[in-house]
Amino acid sequence: MSISNVIPSIKICGLRDAATIQAMNGLAITEVGLVFAPSKRQVSASLGSELVKAIQSIEGRDQKSPKAAGVFVNYPLKDMLKLLERVPLDIVQLHGQEKVDYYAALHKQLDDAVLWKVVSIDASRQLLEVSQIIEELKPFMAYVDRLLIDAPGGGTGKPFNWNAIAAYRAAAQHFEKPLVIAGGLHAGNVTDLLQQHRVDGIDVSSGVETNGIKDIVKIKEFVGKVIEA
C-alpha cells in the first residue's frame, strides 16, 4: 500500500504526436511533457505548438486538461523567450546546469508559466546531507515551483538510487515545494516507489515506450498502477 493517501501528480513526457496525446483523453494525467532539448524525442517549435493544442483538447485528472511542460537543457535565454511566444507552455522544466541568473531572468519574463528545477542524482549526491542540499538549492528557490530529481542525463530509462529521495524530500519540504521523481520508472517499479517513499509527483518517459515510440497500453497500465498504489 502507498504511504500517502494522495495520488501523486503524473507527468507523461516525450510525446511527439497528437494521436497519442488524444488517446490519453480521460486518464488521470496532470502534465504532458514535450522535449525541446537535443534528444531522440526532440520536437520543433511548430510541432510543439500543434501538440500543446492537442494537450489542451483532452481531459486529464479532475476533468481538467493536463498542463503542457517543455523540457530544456541549457537552452539560450533569448531562444527560450522566442519559443514561448510560439508555444504556450504552462511549465518550463530546466534539465541542465542553468545558473541562478538564468532562473531569475527567465522567471521575470514569464507570464503564467512556472519553472521546475531538475537535480541529477549521481553517486556523489546520494550521500549529501539535507543541510547541504538546502544550501545548494536556496538561491534558486524563489524562482522555482517544483523540484524534480532524476538520474543523470534525462530520458535514459535508468533509475537513480532511491536512498537519496528522503534527503531531497526533506529539503523540498523545507522550501515548501513539491518533489517530483523521474528516472527509469515503469509499471513494474512505480508501486515499489510509492510504497517506499512519499512523493508529490512522478514523471515517466522511456518506461511507457515500445521500441522508442510512446505506447498507449503502457501509459494506461502505468497510470493504473499509480492510482492503485
Which residues of the chain form contacts with ligand LGQLAAA5 (CB under 6 A)? 13-14, 33, 35, 37, 39, 41, 71, 73, 95, 150, 154-157, 182-185, 203-207
Amino acid at 178: P
Decide if 55 contacts 65 (C-beta within 8 A): yes
Nearest distance, CB of residue 44 and ligand LGQLAAA5, angstroms: 15
Nearest distance, CB of residue 69 and ligand LGQLAAA5, angstroms: 8
Q: Between residues 49 and 206, which has the closer beta carbon with respect to ligand LGQLAAA5?
A: 206
Nearest distance, CB of residue 75 and ligand LGQLAAA5, angstroms: 11
Decide if 3 contacts 194 (C-beta within 8 A): yes
Nearest distance, CB of residue 131 and ligand LGQLAAA5, angstroms: 26
Nearest distance, CB of residue 80 and ligand LGQLAAA5, angstroms: 15
Q: How far apart are CA 148 and CA 30, in angstroms?
A: 15
Q: How far apart are CA 167 and CA 14, in angstroms?
A: 28
Q: Which of 161, 164, 163 is nearest to 147 (CA)?
A: 164
Give the H/E segment covering residue 12: strand 9-13
Cα distances from 79 to residues 45, 74, 152, 182, in angstroms, run 11, 11, 24, 26
Rg (CA), the chain: 16
Q: Which 8-state DSSP code applies to residue 207?
A: G
Nearest distance, CB of residue 185 and ligand LGQLAAA5, angstroms: 6
Q: Between residues 4 and 39, which has the closer beta carbon with respect to ligand LGQLAAA5?
A: 39
Give the H/E segment covering residue 183: none
Give the strand pairing for 179-181 and 31-35: unpaired
Q: Between residues 50 and 209, which has the closer beta carbon with respect to ligand LGQLAAA5?
A: 209
Q: Between residues 5 and 41, which has the closer beta carbon with respect to ligand LGQLAAA5?
A: 41
Q: Between residues 174 and 186, which has the closer beta carbon with respect to ligand LGQLAAA5?
A: 186
β partners of residue 67: 31
Q: Between residues 58 and 185, which has the closer beta carbon with respect to ligand LGQLAAA5?
A: 185
Report the residue closest to ligand LGQLAAA5, judged by CB: 155
